[in-house]
Amino acid sequence: KAGVTQTPRYLIKTRGQQVTLSCSPISGHRSVSWYQQTPGQGLQFLFEYFSETQRNKGNFPGRFSGRQFSNSRSEMNVSTLELGDSALYLCASSRTGTGGYEQYFGPGTRLTVT
């Protein structure tokens, strides 16, 4: 069974630009969550999508947005990039967005903002 895939794996952008990251969940998983990982803050929750609807959102500015398609694939977008947005962005999928179901992570997209 294929795992969570994320594209691209590495990205270098300039301040002020915008970026779109993609995530394909494990087959049959309908919930997709996004996290930002930095050395200082660790893993922080961005948002969760289930059946094309945002169910939950973390404490990030509106520059961070996402969406989910009917096939459960998800994208996140960051507009007006800042140096502090440099991080590993991780996507995780689970069977549902409720209960204690395990979340399985992809390899991440390493974003560097210069």
Closest approach of other proteins to the CB of residue 42, in Å: 5
What is the secondary structure of 51-79 as a DSSP string? Answer: TTEEEEE-S--TTEEEEE-TTS-EEEEE-
Q: Please, which residue, 14 or 102, has the CB nearer to other proteins?
A: 102
At 15, which amino acid appears?
R
Q: Please, which residue, 24 or 103, has the CB nearer to other proteins?
A: 103
Q: Which residues bind other proteins (CB under 8 A)?
A: 4, 33, 35, 42-45, 48, 55-56, 58, 90, 92, 97-100, 102-108
Q: Please, which residue, 86 or 105, has the CB nearer to other proteins?
A: 105
CA distance 4 to 112: 22
Strand order in the sheet with 74-78: 5-7, 19-24, 74-78, 64-68
